[in-house]
Amino acid sequence: MKSIIAQGLVKTYRNGEVRALDGLDLDVEEGTVLGLLGPNGSGKTTTVRVLATLLTPDEGSATVGGVDVVKHPDQVRNMIGLSGQYAALDETLTGWDNLTMFGRLYHLSASATKARATELLEKFSLTDAARRPIKTYSGGMRRRLDLAASLIIKPKVLFLDEPTTGLDPRGRQEMWQVIDELVKGGVTLLLTTQYLEEADQLADSIAVIDAGKVIARGTSDELKNQVGGERLEITVDASHLPRAVELVKQVAGADPIVDTGLRRISAPVNNGSDSLVQVLRLLDEAKIHPLDIGLKRPSLDDVFISLTGHVAEIEAEVVTGKKKRK
Amino acid sequence: MKQAIGDFLVITKRQLLQMIRIPEVLIFATIQPAMFVLLFRYVFGGAINSGVSGGYVQLLMPGIFVQTVAFTLAATAVGLTADMQKGLIDRFRSLPIARSAVVIGRTVGDTLQNIVTLVVMGLVGFAVGWRPSSGPVKILLAFLFLLAFGYSMSWIGILIGLSVREERVAQSLVFLTVFPLTFLSNAFAPTTGMPKILQYFAEWNPVSTMVAACRELFGTKNIFGATANSWPSQHPVAMSLIYMVLLVVVFAPISVRKYVKVSAK
């Protein structure tokens, strides 16, 4: 069964000048995670806002949990959770105040609200901070509380709009863990992100969105194959360069690209970590110590260039102006 | 319906909690009008020949009360704009709650804050010689009148708050609306000194009718108003009530509709 279905969604701004959504089709199987991957201004947030009943599409239709989002928004609101790009909380209030407020607004009884707030604070490691104003929270804590607020009713369908944008690496890791656990609980999740790595980590299936349309759909492996696999990159001392090139060629089976100036060798590899270990061993035997060694994975830019032929950045600039306040 | 009331009570409670969590806001919101009482009392009080027993402060207090409650809409507008910027309004809109709950909750919450402000101002006024002489019932009635006026004005604040994107813009817009209203009135000085055309404006200005109504209810002769024998200056209480009803009837539906569509742009 499909938990989310969107068909031909169109949303324009400024009298049709900007087409934020341009015939977007999407579906998410119940209990799975779809990563909606795209740069700023590609229509990710607009998609989420339409599905979460915040925005009425100009054309097209969408159902969440089998209910039409335009015709029966209230029914939809009773089964979704939404956590946006910004922590949408009352900063002057404490974490506890916020959660209990949202609990009451979801029409839970006072005792059920308290029980749920306690449970969620515990789950997101915020119990100690519960009585402090949100103002004093770190970015990661705010996001976790924001997520907790969207889970108060145990939603069937959860929308997370760029849940880790702006977080430091540690905050991102923490957030990923939390989301991962949620998903194990069986919720259907639509997650938007600018990071291929994030979609890779969390999503069962990825839809790449550009200029308001889904332009590619598949698992992360499928997409990466489309983009091209990983590359092995090694930097060595100039004197060791010729020997190292030979060793890399041996492992990669193809002629590596050599940048003499940077003393860097780069070659496509199929089974990344195995090749890495192999090369390291060979280098070690040859008494060559690499200055830097690693696997370069395809980035969102790589995906974009390969799928659309243009760089994500340019698109982003045109539309940021319209990205209006929340 | 019962649920809708529950929703709006939750939002109102949020406003009151804010008051407790950051008491500084309320303290400063109260100090400012108290300061105005003292400044006007001692700066203008000496210069303006009031001609009423008990002096200028008797005329001043109703004026300052009305000005203060009129400025309720500043808190309403700025608070709402801030909520929109933070995405809080989006979250509220994604919840299964009554459409009017958030805006009604805010207007009521802001009005409740006014109670504290009015009490403090009244005490400061009393300390500097304000002596309402109409008896407890009418005095209480005057305060209720003030709260109701603040409430109806806060609906303008809702509309401003939902219409702008920046807190500072909301603030400026409020000042541009409210300052002319409070000064082109009989609140602080006789309107007779104004150019003719402004006198008419001042006569019909809701702030004037409110001030006149409060002076009447507090038992002070309104000698700052009667420049013309116009209907509002003859019937300030009735006229003020009409204004309040008008404000709510006009601005509440517009604001609620605006709230529903606010991010549809």
Are A9 and A72 in the same domain?
yes
**For residues B226 and A6, what is the distance between their CA atoms, to the nearest angstrom?**
66
Classify A206 as helix, strand or coil: strand
Please give the helix or strand (H or E) that residue B31 lies within, else none: helix B23-47
**For residues A68 and B225, what is the distance between their CA atoms, to the nearest angstrom?**
59
In a domain, A263, yes or no: yes
Q: State the pLDDT at residue A228.
A: 66
- CB-CB under 8 Å, A93 with B18: yes
Q: Where are the alpha helices (DSSP H) in A203-323?
A: 220-227, 241-252, 272-285, 300-308, 312-320
pLDDT in 10s for each residue of chain A, 326 residues: 899 999 999 999 888 888 899 999 999 999 999 999 988 888 999 999 999 999 999 999 999 999 999 999 999 999 999 997 777 899 999 999 999 999 999 999 999 999 999 999 999 999 999 999 999 999 889 999 999 999 998 899 999 999 988 888 888 888 898 888 888 888 999 999 988 888 888 999 999 998 899 998 988 778 777 766 778 888 988 888 888 888 888 888 777 888 888 888 888 787 778 888 888 898 888 888 888 888 887 665 666 667 766 554 434 333 333 333 33
Q: Which residue has the tokens 């259907």?
A: A188
Q: Which residues of A touch B (CB under 8 A)?
A: 13, 49, 52-56, 74, 77-78, 80, 82, 84-94, 97, 101-102, 104-107, 133, 149, 324-326
- CB-CB under 8 Å, B94 with A82: yes
Are A182 and A213 in the same domain?
yes
The pLDDT tens digits of the residues spanning B84-114 come to 988 899 899 989 998 899 999 999 999 999 9
Q: Which residue has the higher pLDDT, A228 or B62?
A: B62
Calculate how close chain B gets to A255, using CA atoms only, in Å.
52
Residue B265 above 60 pLDDT? no
CATH number at residue A179: 3.40.50.300
Looking at chain B, which residue has its C-alpha nearest residue A50? B264
Q: Residue A326 is nearest to which of B14, B18, B90, comparing CB atoms?
A: B90
In a domain, A292, yes or no: yes
Q: Which residue has the tokens 């990344």?
A: A272
Residues contacting residue B223 through CB under 8 Å, at least 6 positions apart? B50, B51, B52, B59, B190
Q: Which residue has the tokens 């009635």?
A: B141
Are A65 and A166 in the same domain?
yes
Calculate how close chain A gets to B151, using CA atoms only, in Å.
23
Are A191 and A241 in the same domain?
no
Which of A182, A210, A226 is the last residue in one of the domains? A226
Map out the domains of chain B as residue ranges: 2-19+26-44+51-261
Structural domain total, chain A: 2
Q: State the pLDDT at residue A9.
A: 96
Tell me the two tokens of residue B150.
Answer: 């603040």
**For residues B158 and A100, what is the distance between their CA atoms, to the nearest angstrom?**
25
Which of A226, A242, A269 is the last residue in one of the domains? A226
Q: State the pLDDT at residue A13.
A: 87
Q: Residue B85 is nearest to which of A102, A104, A325, comparing CB atoms?
A: A325
The pLDDT tens digits of the residues spanning B204-231 come to 999 999 999 999 999 988 877 665 677 8
Q: State the pLDDT at residue A203.
A: 92
Are A166 and A200 in the same domain?
yes
Classify A141 as helix, strand or coil: helix
Which residues of chain A does B263 touch, with a Cβ-Cβ cutoff of 8 Å? 49, 54-55, 324, 326
For residue A215, give its domain range. 2-79+155-226
CATH number at residue A236: 3.30.70.100
Which residues of chain B does A13 touch, with a Cβ-Cβ cutoff of 8 Å? 265
- CB-CB under 8 Å, A56 with B22: no
Residue B162 above 60 pLDDT? yes
Q: Residue B22 is nearest to which of A52, A54, A92, comparing CB atoms?
A: A92
- CB-CB under 8 Å, A105 with B21: no
Calculate how close chain A gets to B11, using CA atoms only, in Å.
8
Looking at chain B, which residue has its C-alpha nearest residue A98? B14
Are A174 and A73 in the same domain?
yes
Give every strand in the sheet of A231-235, ordered side by side.
A257-259, A264-268, A231-235, A292-296
Q: Residue B94 is nearest to which of A53, A86, A89, comparing CB atoms?
A: A53
Are A220 and A237 in the same domain?
no
Which residues of chain A does B169 touch, with a Cβ-Cβ cutoff of 8 Å? none
C-alpha radius of gyration, chain A, whole number? 23
In a domain, A19, yes or no: yes
Tell me the two tokens of residue A51.
Answer: 């599905």
- CB-CB under 8 Å, B263 with A101: no
Are A238 and A221 in the same domain?
no
Are A163 and A290 in the same domain?
no
